[in-house]
């Protein structure tokens, strides 16, 4: 198969996979609801002063098993304090939770092979002025991108730029990854929200919206929802609180 033909064939496969049937969508939504149950459990019953990242990660895995979803979308990201500056803190450590820490939790599970993906950032105790400023900026950036989608915008780079340009006004060059990605039988599917992406997001696709700020030696904030792209708008598939008040533990 010649390269040009192979590329066209690969693109066609990606486009077909991106558009979810009702059954596929139901699996993704079910996986998300289970993840929300786990996050509720972690937020209310697991997090406590002195607990380690490793302990929380293990309790997350065990809870998924108890809820009948033992196959995860990826290894849970559990980060405390300065570790939240690591965009993909895939290996939890013995770092203990202490007063004033930022907490980042990013995880998902699978239902019939279909994935969910969600990130929430919390503060252990009343956040500092800087922590509040960073959190509210990231939340606002996500809201801006969501509004673009709901208005019918389908050009990936335009949606990415709507959030990225806002964040750049707050802290220059600190949003260090794409705004989001497709979700399906693998956690990262076509299409992608990136500054130079040529992707046009099709109706029926499920995308993550996950802006973030990361400051080495200080910490980071990321907020991530999954959104179903519809013909003229969109539907947020994530139903877990993310306002500042809900982020203070």
> What digits encode the pLDDT tens for the residues 3-62?
655 566 466 666 778 999 999 999 999 999 999 999 999 999 999 999 999 999 999 999
What is residue 71's predicted lDDT score, i.e. its pLDDT?
98
Residues 152-183: pLDDT tens digits? 999 999 999 999 999 999 998 899 999 999 99
What distance in Å separates the CA atoms of residue 42 and residue 56, rounded to the nearest whole number?
Answer: 8
Report the C-alpha dihedral over residues 142, 146, 147, 148, rounded to 10 degrees.
110
User: Which residue in 114, 110, 169 sits closest to 140, CA to CA?
Assistant: 169
End-to-end CA distance of the chain: 56
Q: What is the set of domains in the chain, with CATH numbers?
A: 3-247 (3.90.230.10)
Strand, coil or helix: what is 131? helix
What is residue 14's predicted lDDT score, i.e. its pLDDT?
66
What distance in Å separates the CA atoms of residue 221 and residue 103, rounded to the nearest whole number?
Answer: 9
Confidence of residue 221 (pLDDT cuts 50, 70, 90): very high
Query: Could you give the angle at the alpha carbon of 197 between the alpha carbons of 196 and 202, nearest 5°?
Result: 155
| Percent of the chain at pLDDT exceeding 70 | 94
What distance in Å separates the CA atoms of residue 35 and residue 105, rounded to the nearest whole number?
Answer: 11
User: Which residue in 196, 54, 44, 177 sits closest to 122, CA to CA?
Assistant: 44
Contact 227, 206 (CB under 8 A): yes
User: Residue written as tokens 């998924």?
Assistant: 64
Contact 56, 47 (CB under 8 A): yes
Look over the chain and give the mean of its residue pLDDT values, rounded to a whole number: 95
What is residue 135's predicted lDDT score, i.e. its pLDDT?
98
Cα-to-chain-centroid distance, residue 223: 6
Q: Which helix (H) or strand (E) holds 129?
A: helix 129-150
Q: pTM for the whole thing?
A: 0.94
What is residue 173's predicted lDDT score, i.e. its pLDDT?
82
What is residue 10's predicted lDDT score, i.e. its pLDDT?
60
What is residue 15's predicted lDDT score, i.e. its pLDDT?
74
């Amino acid at each position: 198969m010649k390269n040009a033909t192979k590329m066209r064939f690969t693109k066609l496969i990606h486009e077909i996979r991106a558009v979810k049937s009702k059954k596929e969508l139901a699996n993704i939504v079910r996986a998300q609801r289970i993840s929300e149950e786990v996050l509720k459990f972690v937020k209310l019953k697991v997090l406590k002063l002195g607990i380690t990242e490793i302990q929380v990660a293990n309790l997350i895995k065990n809870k998924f098993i108890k809820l009948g979803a033992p196959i995860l979308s990826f290894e849970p990201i559990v980060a405390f304090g300065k570790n939240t500056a690591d965009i993909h803190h895939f290996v939890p450590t013995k770092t203990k939770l202490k007063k004033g820490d930022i907490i980042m939790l990013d995880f998902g599970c699978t239902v019939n092979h279909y994935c969910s993906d969600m990130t929430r950032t919390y503060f252990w105790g009343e956040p500092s002025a800087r922590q509040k400023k960073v959190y509210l900026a990231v939340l606002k950036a996500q809201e801006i991108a969501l509004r673009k989608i709901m208005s019918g915008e389908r050009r990936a780079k335009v949606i990415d730029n709507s959030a990225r340009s806002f964040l750049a006004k707050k802290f220059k060059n600190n949003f260090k990854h794409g705004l989001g990605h497709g979700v399906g039988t693998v956690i990262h599917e076509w299409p992608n929200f990136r500054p130079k992406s040529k992707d046009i997001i099709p109706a029926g696709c499920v995308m993550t919206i996950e802006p973030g700020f990361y400051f080495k030696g200080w910490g980071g904030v990321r907020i991530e929802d999954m959104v179903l792209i519809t013909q003229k708008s969109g539907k947020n598939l994530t139903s877990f609180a993310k306002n500042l008040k809900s982020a203070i533990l």
